[in-house]
Amino acid sequence: MKLNTNSNIYTIFYTTILVVIVAGVLAFASTALKPKQQENIALEKMQSLLRAARLGEDVSAQKNKSEYIKALYSEHMTNDFVLDYEGKVIEGEAFEIDLQAQYSIIKQIASAKTPETARAFRKQLQLPVFVCTIGEKVLNIFPCYGAGLWGPIWGYIAVEDDFETIYGAVFDHKGETPGLGAEIAHAPFYNQFVGKKLSLEGAFKSISIIKGGGQADNPNGVDAISGGTITSQSLEQAIAMWLDEYQAYFNIKRAAIGSKECCGEDCCGEEGCGEEHDHDQDGKVPCNGENCSCKTGIRNHNGHEHQTK
Amino acid sequence: MDKSIFKNPFFKANPITVLVLGICSALAVTVQLKGAFVMALSVTVVTGFSSMLVSSIRNSIPNRVRIIVQLVIVAMFVILVDEFLKAYAYDVSKQLSVYIGLIITNCIIMGRIEAFALGNKPFPSLVDGLANGMGYGMVLVIIAFIRELFGSGTLFGFQIIPQSWYMANGGFYENNGLVILPPMALIIVGGIIWVQRAIQKELQEEK
């Protein structure tokens, strides 16, 4: 008896069995490859963080890439912590924080109708900070995440311990146009951020990514990508949105640096030392502990002693 | 087995220049050689194996739903390739991003399954699929070579055009921005078709 391959029952059975088999194959492949894929994703994140601190640039020349990245990461990334919207350290694992989830909260803050709802959303924020130590240098690395032209874009910005100067930055994307928007992930673009300032005349200012922004006399701008205008604008917006949420933390840190200048052992008598301070006999400003943030150890997140110089 | 099954897709019946299939992805992934190369490889694997699989079950496929059956099989291979790239060639997989998933929409694959695999034995179908993938890949690599060299001054990411030639460094040279954009890929495809037809007179239409 010849099977009628055009009968309804045959068709239904055939397609059902086919789909079940295909689903089985795919489920198996997905489960079998998952650990390897997740390792790749974690490794990529480590590499991005290191790149932001201008480390690991020679990684492609290494034989064992993953070992090299892991070693570099554990050597330099000395600490990470999670902040809330007020810049206070809260509990959480910075490396595991899903930037996309935080981004959706930030978006809700931006579209909130009343300040109360905005604050309610803000309270949910978990903002990761990564601390990288290179010799004497202590860098704070801040993430950003936003929507590009075709998909998400994200990046990490390493800021020097004056909380003003950008030490390095790195960006990446899911699916921007190769050669155009995708150029944000390449060194010629993100290296422009090196040395740029996050403030203008004392006030906090994010980086603008505009045509002709990369002039040497513009401390707050970098050149946009020709042909990648929407990606450039989205990145500018993403950086501004995220740094805005970190601003509380920046302000605390900057205030700490400001007050430190006039209570340190060696700073008094130098320029910038306020005349309103009372000098003691040695010509040093007396430090009364409470108002002097450098004595309270505010820079002392990672257990390292960072007392006044 | 007829040797022309393997030979034809490279020149006489090249999927891009003669059959004009798979043009869309030829424009999308040819900005850089590396991407074009991996794309070519992925398409070759998918066309080859899906042709073979469809051919081996061709007598049992219900005719009314054959397109869907083919689609499911192609989709399976595309997802497998995608998962493998994510696990073992993460950098490249990221670079190609959505285009790997879009292999399924590549007309070459469905075209070869419909035109060849449904009427031939599994082994010739495998060869036909692989050869078509490679013929497609060959054109892709040629386009990507031109586009990366003139658009970015690099090949496989290595700087070819000396840095000192660039205007920024006081030279006379500037990368051609148009070459990076998709329209230029179309012009290059046109150029390749022109060259091929000039060599191969039998492809020219009668006036």
Q: What is the mean predicted confidence (pLDDT) over B185-190?
A: 91
CB-based contact, B152 to chain A, within 8 Å: yes
SS3 at position A14: helix
CB contacts < 8 A (A, B): 78
**B97 and A175 in contact by Cβ < 8 A?**
yes
Matching residue, tokens 């450098």 = A294
Query: Shortest Cα distance from A17 to chain B (angstroms)?
Result: 11
B77-98 burial, b at 16+ Cβ within 10 Å, e below that, comes to: bbbbbbbbbbbeebebbbbbbe
Which residues in chain A are contacts of B80 at CB distance < 8 A?
A: 25-26, 29
* pLDDT 10s digits, A149-199: 988 999 999 999 888 899 999 998 887 877 788 889 888 899 899 988 888
Q: What is the pLDDT of residue A271?
A: 43
**B87 and A37 in contact by Cβ < 8 A?**
yes
Which residues in chain B are contacts of A6 at CB distance < 8 A?
A: 62-64
**B180 and A36 in contact by Cβ < 8 A?**
no
- Beta-sheet pairing, A137-147 with A166-173: unpaired
Interface of A with B (CB under 8 A): 5-6, 10-11, 14-15, 18-19, 22, 25-26, 29-30, 33, 36-37, 40-41, 44, 150-151, 174-175, 178-180, 226-227
Among partner residues A14, A29, A175, which is closest to B83 by beta-carbon distance? A29
List, in sequence order, every residue forming a beta bridge with A128; answer none if it has no partner: A82
Is residue A197 within 8 Å of A164, Cβ to Cβ? yes
* pLDDT 10s digits, A74-111: 888 888 889 888 888 888 888 888 889 999 999 888 88
**A6 and B152 in contact by Cβ < 8 A?**
no
Query: Shortest Cα distance from A262 to chain B (angstroms)?
Result: 45
Worst-scoring range by mean pLDDT, A48-57, A118-127, A261-270, B121-130? Answer: A261-270
Which residues in chain B are contacts of A18 at CB distance < 8 A?
A: 69, 72-73
Is residue A214 within 8 Å of A222, Cβ to Cβ? yes
CA torsion A277→A282→A288→A292, rounded to 10°? 70
Closest-approach residue (CA) in chain B for A30: B83
Written as one string, the DSSP assignment of A240-282 is HHHHHHHHHHHHHHHHHHHHHTTTSTTTTTSTT--TTSPP-TT
Residue A262 has pLDDT above 60, yes or no: no
Looking at the predicted complex, does its ipTM rise above 0.85?
no
Written as one string, the DSSP assignment of chain B is --THHHHGGGTTT-TTTTS--SHHHHHHS-SSHHHHHHHHHHHHHHHHHHHHHHHHTTTTS-GGGHHHHHHHHHHHHHHHHHHHHHHH-HHHHHHHTHHHHGGGG-HHHHHHHHHTGGGS-HHHHHHHHHHHHHHHHHHHHHHHHHHHHHHHSEETTEE-S-GGGBGGGTSSB---HHHHSHHHHHHHHHHHHHHHHHH-GGGSPP-
Q: What is the pLDDT of residue A260?
A: 61
List Cβ neighbours of A68 (8 Å cut-off, separation of 6 or more). A56, A59, A62
Task: Report the predicted TM-score, pTM, of the whole model to 2 decimal places.
Answer: 0.70
Q: What is the pLDDT of residue A80?
A: 87
List Cβ neighbours of A212 (8 Å cut-off, separation of 6 or more). A223
Query: Shortest Cα distance from A158 to chain B (angstroms)?
Result: 23
For chain A, the structural domain boundaries read 50-258
Q: What is the pLDDT of residue B124?
A: 92
Measured over the CA atoms of residue A85, residue A86, residue A87 and residue A93, the dihedral's sign is: negative
CA–CA distance, B106 with B190 (Å, rounded to integer)? 19
Residue A301 has pLDDT above 60, yes or no: no
* pLDDT 10s digits, A101-113: 999 999 888 888 8
For chain B, the structural domain boundaries read 4-140
**A179 and B61 in contact by Cβ < 8 A?**
no
Most confident segment among A152-161, A214-223, A283-292: A152-161
pLDDT band at B44 (very low <50, low <70, confident <90, very high): very high
Q: What is the pLDDT of residue B151?
A: 86
- Higher-pLDDT residue of A31 and A276 is A31
Residue A34 has pLDDT above 50, yes or no: yes
Give, for A183, the enclosing helix (H) or strand (E).
Answer: none
Q: What is the pLDDT of residue B3?
A: 80
Task: Please give the share of chain B, as a percent, with pLDDT higher than 90.
Answer: 33
Task: Please give the share of chain A, as a percent, with pLDDT higher than 70.
Answer: 82
